[in-house]
Amino acid sequence: MARVHNPYFAGPPATQPDTFFGREDDLRFVDDSLSSARHNLLVFYGQRRIGKTSILHQISRRNHPDYEAVFFDLQSGMTNSATDLLYGLARAIASQLKLPKPNRPDFDEPDAFRIDFLPQVTRQLGDKRLLLLLDEFDVLSLEIGAMELDALPFVQALNPIIQSENKQVIFLFVIGRRL
């Protein structure tokens, strides 16, 4: 009996296109969902270690005519301050879009992300939408060791953007644990 090569592997996410296989339906689902200007919130929910992060990396690497995707891992950006988390997200956006690095003091108020920073970004994007790929969103509901994040200000800062009639910013949350 001939051995069949298994292209899947356990380990870090597949960040390169040549290590990513068999998820074209998932990518097509994202494209179809994002083609509607009515929606600006998607959620990937599933067991841990099934490739959700790999899908996000593939989305972030694609050159899409309708949106600019920015990957942000909430677990690696973990802090006990919602304003630090928003600043980290702003830095990821600026880095991905090749914009000037934001200044930390500008984010002392959680509303600064929405009121000051995002309008600058969306003006730069013109007709394109901003797709924020927020990996490990469920860590916001966890207590990790002695650190407990007060996630409410972070979620409250994002909520008006999600609820807005202006759907220029899209969120894709990835959840792998029970909330």
pLDDT of res. 140: 73
In which band, very low, low, confident or very high, does the pLDDT at 80 lie, cut at 50, 70 and 90?
A: low
pTM, rounded to two decimals = 0.84
pLDDT of res. 99: 96
* CATH (residue range 23-174): 3.40.50.300
**Hey, what are 1's tokens?**
């009996």
Q: What is the pLDDT of residues 2-27, one digit of tens each?
A: 776 655 556 556 566 666 667 788 88
Q: What is the pLDDT of residues 120-166, one digit of tens each?
A: 999 999 999 999 999 988 777 655 544 455 667 788 889 999 999 88
Asked if 73 and 138 count as a contact pair (C-beta separation under 8 A), the reply is: no
Residue found under tokens 């600026």:
94
Q: What is the DSSP string of 62-91?
A: S--SSEEEEEEETTTT--S-HHHHHHHHHH
Domain locations in the chain as residue ranges: 23-174
In one-letter notation, the amino acid at residue 163 is Q
**Hey, what are 149's tokens?**
């994040």
**Nearest-5° angle of CA 131, CA 175, CA 63?**
25
Q: What is the pLDDT of residues 17-74, one digit of tens each?
A: 666 667 788 888 888 888 876 778 998 888 877 788 888 888 988 888 899 999 999 8
pLDDT of res. 116: 95
pLDDT of res. 86: 92
